[in-house]
Structure formats: C-alpha cells, structure tokens
Amino acid sequence: MVRRPLVKQPGDQVLQARSRSLVYARGFVMEVGDMIESNTGHVGLVLDREMLYPGHPCSPVRNYIVMWNDEAPRYAVLVSGDKKITKLSTFSVKRRIK
C-alpha cells in the first residue's frame, strides 16, 4: 500500500489562520463584534460563537449568537426572551459587513 502525503487543496473548507479565528472557503474571518448579513438579507451583530467541538483548537464554528438590527430571520433559533437575539447557523451567513 502506497501512502500519499496529505496536500491541502484550494477547496479545503477550514484552514487555521490564528488561534480563535477561522478562515472559510468564502474568504472571510468571523469574530465577535462583526456585522454580518444573512442569506435572506437580515443584518446583525455577532455576540458569540458556538464551536462544533468545544475546547479543540481547530474546531470549526457551528452557530453564531447574533443580535439583529430589525427583525430576525424566520429560521433563526431564539436563545433568550428578546426576539432580536438568536442563534444562527454558520451556513446561513452570506457575508461580513465591514
């Protein structure tokens, strides 16, 4: 059996950029305090990140805790009594607003 070396391809989903920040294939870094736009056009502020494997240094982000400017998307999950603070899937983020 011949073992081939592992080579990262341009299409790799997650690359470790710095500790506590991950670069995704779309080319943006998401951190707490960033403004984001969802796939449906809603705009909000990232309050926290929920990791897929908590405590692991290379864990990808599973969900973002977001406070929305106007109203939350219909598919966002409420995390508190306030309807503007919800949990949003990473795959629902369209872009980071600078």
- Where are the chain's structural domains? 32-97
Output 92 or 14, whichever has higher pLDDT: 92
CA 90 to chain CA centroid, nearest Å = 4
* pLDDT tens by residue, 35-48: 999 999 999 999 99
Predicted TM-score (pTM) of this structure: 0.69
